[in-house]
Amino acid sequence: MNQYVKMIVVLLVISCASGAVLALSYAVTNPKIQQQELQKLQESVLKVIPGATKMEEVQKDGITVYIGLDDQGNKKGIAFPASGSGFNGVIELMVGYNPTEGKLTGVEVLSMSETPGLGAKITEESFTGQFNGKSVKDQFIVKQDVQAISGATISSTAVTKAIKASLDEIVKLYPVGGDF
């Protein structure tokens, strides 16, 4: 009986020490992780809104958007997240939109797990660049007004549908020609 109590006490001490090390590791690394995520978000927003040098986060009707501003505080466009299901998992995007012109200003893939050499080509400028200047009135249909990546139609379609679905919601909040 005494031997069992010793083992339980030893296991309890080891468990408590392990928990304390994990908690300390989390406390030390979490602020750095949060800072890096914020920096990555800001970089993606500024990349999809040409001329923007800073961003402002706005909540409107439960949707988060990012207003891109230049150095003088002039609004340059809106960035919003979009996501869809690709061939191997979720594809997350940041999309730039100019409500004044009713056109997209940029698309960046934030994360994806598509097949290397095929679906992963959705991250390349040759694919994402075709959305720059695209009107909100366009159909966004692969093989019609959007060129698919050869051998990666599912990934191409997922990106296109994610952009169109999110854009439709954003246009309701920020209509073409309206103020943002």
> pLDDT tens digit string along 22-73?
999 999 999 999 999 999 999 999 999 999 999 999 998 889 999 999 999 8
d(CA 121, CA 95) in angstroms, rounded, equals 17
Backbone phi and psi for residue 87, each to the nearest 5 degrees, phi listed first: -70, -40
What pLDDT does 169 receive? 94
What letters, b where the CB count within 10 A reaches 16 and e where it falls short, cover 16-29?
A: eeeeeeeeeeeeee
Q: pLDDT at residue 119 above 90?
A: no
Query: What's the angle, vertex CA 39, arms to CA 33 and CA 41, rounded to 5?
Result: 105
What pLDDT does 78 receive? 96
d(CA 118, CA 116) in angstroms, rounded, equals 6
What pLDDT does 122 receive? 92
Collapsing DSSP states into helix, strand and coil, what is residue 161?
Answer: helix
pTM for the structure as a whole? 0.83
